[in-house]
Amino acid sequence: MIQQGRLSLDDTLAKFIPDYPNRDAAAKITINQLVTHRSGIAPFVRTDFGDATSVAAMTKVVGSAPQSFDPGARQEYSNGGYVVLGRVVEIVSDQSYTAYVLDHIYRPAGMTNSGFATKGDRDPMLAMGYFPTDAQGRPLMGGQSGTFGFNPPEPGNPAGGGYSTVADLFKFSRALRGGRLLDQRTTDYVLNGTFSGQSGPKFGFALREQMGGARRFIGNGGGAPGVNAEFRFEPAGDYTVVVLANSSPPAATQLLNDVIERLGSGGAPQNPHVGVSAMRSEVQTLHAEVVAGLYEFSGIGHQTSPGFNVRSETLSRPDTRAPSTIHGWPDASATIASSGSRKARRTTVGRRPRRR
């Protein structure tokens, strides 16, 4: 939209949403502050939206809450800000947010197994999220044992909740880096010129930076009870790392951090609790775009080792929108894709999932 001159990073929120509930904030918040988490709009969890399901209705809920800080005062993650940004996209494009993403991201990138579930959707290709619960049935984050609950897929919104596959997210990294989604000047700016932050990861436009030794990765991720997804790629390198889990954080996050550490150091990971250190590879001649490795694991937590073993297998359904199994216990799969070689490794690490 910026390329087309339909909006500017310096435009204020009030220009596009004049009836935003907090009018004083809307007059100060810029598009640039929204995309870089500097708007001061408070973060939200799904239950805060009540019965609001449309982006317009969610925006009214977000705008009715007090600001966390004055616009531009500091940088702090805000999913509420991205709900509002999604509403700006709808108004400027005259399309629904989901339709706009389909037309301008998924289709140009060739992402045929990505989208947003609708309320009541029971697509059997979508993974069920599993999580341990306490005695009252409340989710416990990071646990490995006990009574398990499950969540059906929830409807997505501009702040998250979409579905995808490791193959589709690899396609996205290639499309973004290759200039198929933006022109070359804007692509370079998004991948390299937008990152800032004094402490913790540097945030850019919906992306954050993570270093693995001398390797620079960018991407994003998130999690909730029964779901954890992480995605990183090298803007100037060959590697894309995608980890999807139908279990709670840190299932995917922990494995992603370990893989990036391994790629950055060129050696074994330092964390003895993660099974990637037990990795061995079977080299197969595959197309350059095919994954360099597929890793499956179960039961990853903060303190205990699940007792990994290594086995080789083929990926029978690479585009299944489930991390590893749809109706099994919590598992996760990670794809490490390298586009720089005609040879690729495909190795599976972990235990066979237990069935209920």
Q: What does the pLDDT look like over 317-349, one tens digit per residue? A: 334 343 332 222 334 444 444 443 323 222 223
Residue 302, pLDDT > 90, answer no
Q: What's the whole-number average pLDDT of the chain? A: 74
Specify whether the CB–CB gap between 133 and 302 falls below 8 A: no
What integer pLDDT is reported at residue 313 of this predicted model? 30
Give me the amino acid identity at 43: P
Tokens representing 228? 């954890």
Confidence of residue 33 (pLDDT cuts 50, 70, 90): very high
Q: What does the pLDDT look like over 93-136, one tens digit per residue? A: 999 999 999 999 999 999 999 998 776 666 777 777 877 777 77
How far apart CA 315 and CA 333 sit, in angstroms, is 11
What integer pLDDT is reported at residue 95 of this predicted model? 96
- Tokens 């990637």 appear where? 276
How far apart CA 33 and CA 40 sit, in angstroms, is 8
Nearest to 128 by CA among 329, 326, 330: 326
Range with lowest mean pLDDT among 54-58, 81-85, 328-332, 347-351: 347-351
Read off the pTM.
0.75
How far apart CA 30 and CA 34 sit, in angstroms, is 6
- Tokens 């001159």 appear where? 5
Helix axes 55-64, 79-93, angle to 10 degrees: 130
| Residue predicted with more confidence, 253 or 297 | 253
Q: What does the pLDDT look like over 35-52, one tens digit per residue? A: 999 999 999 876 678 788
Q: How far is CA 136 from the centre of its chain?
A: 30
Neighbouring CB atoms inside 10 A of 174's CB total 17
